[in-house]
Amino acid sequence: MKLTWYGHSTFRVDAGDAHILIDPFLSGNPSWGKGWEGPAEGVTHVLLTHGHNDHIGDAAAILKKTGAMLVANFEICRFLVGQGVAESAINPGNHGGTVDCGGFTTTFVNAVHSSSMPGTGGANTYLGNPAGLVLHFPEEKTLYHMGDTDIFGDMALIQELHQPAIGLVPVGDRFTMGGAVAALACQRYFRFETVVPCHYGTFPIIDPSAEKFIEGLEGSDTRAVVPAIGEAIDL
């Protein structure tokens, strides 16, 4: 499995015949700033954790260009169909559900956050409940993208049910867990082999680095990896 981080919560996962973009916030992402075309080359799936613009990002453009499968909650799927994504491309699910993505499965699990897009007249468009996504591959390690979330006790059930080896963990504070709490979540509730911090350094309003997270994991058996933006790593 190859994993590429494009800043914020945007990752590409290449595993066998599956080429997956998760939360493709690319063209508007100051940590990346190089458009979506390169990261989206050959993409077969687009997965979305929730309905904020810094996570949906370029999903509609990517899906229309590539014909990739969209895996997201029902409300986000319908929202993007309204933006021109083909009905045949959507594969909706919701909390507790597992969907077959062809070559891997995705399970929707809890995340403590919100999910909407700005609408007209000051009202927001509701886009379902936020989620974390657990990806099971037949011949690769199980990967868990936490989405945007705080720590919560039922993370223990996610470990029990899915036993993820790789964790993609938000650490930027203000809108998600901060680094120290994220490190606590990883050590108390999970037995990750490898964790990759995300959702930091993108905007001045959130933490500029993953330093608190890395410090919080010192002495644990979990390996923390901070990849360079746009550089693929092997997991």
Per-residue pLDDT at 136: 98
Q: Residue 122 — pLDDT band, cuts 50, 70, 90? A: confident
The DSSP letter of residue 228 is P
Q: What is the mean pLDDT of the chain?
A: 97
Average pLDDT on 58-77 reads: 98
CA 77 – CA 184 distance, rounded (Å) = 33
Q: Is the pLDDT of residue 112 over 90?
A: yes
Work out the angle between the directed axes of helices 74-81 and 59-66 (0-180°, nearest 10). 70
Q: What percent of the chain has pLDDT over 70?
A: 100
Per-residue pLDDT at 84: 98
Q: Show me where the domains of the chain are located.
A: 2-234
Average pLDDT on 25-40 reads: 96
- pTM of the full structure: 0.98
Q: Which residues contact 129 (CB under 8 A, 6 or more apart)?
A: 50, 73, 94, 95, 115
Per-residue pLDDT at 155: 98
Element (H, E) at 90: strand 90-93
- What is the topology classification, in CATH, of domain 2-234? Metallo-beta-lactamase; Chain A (3.60.15)
Q: Is the pLDDT of residue 123 over 90?
A: no
Is the separation of the CB atoms in 41 and 18 below 8 Å? no
Average pLDDT on 46-64 reads: 98
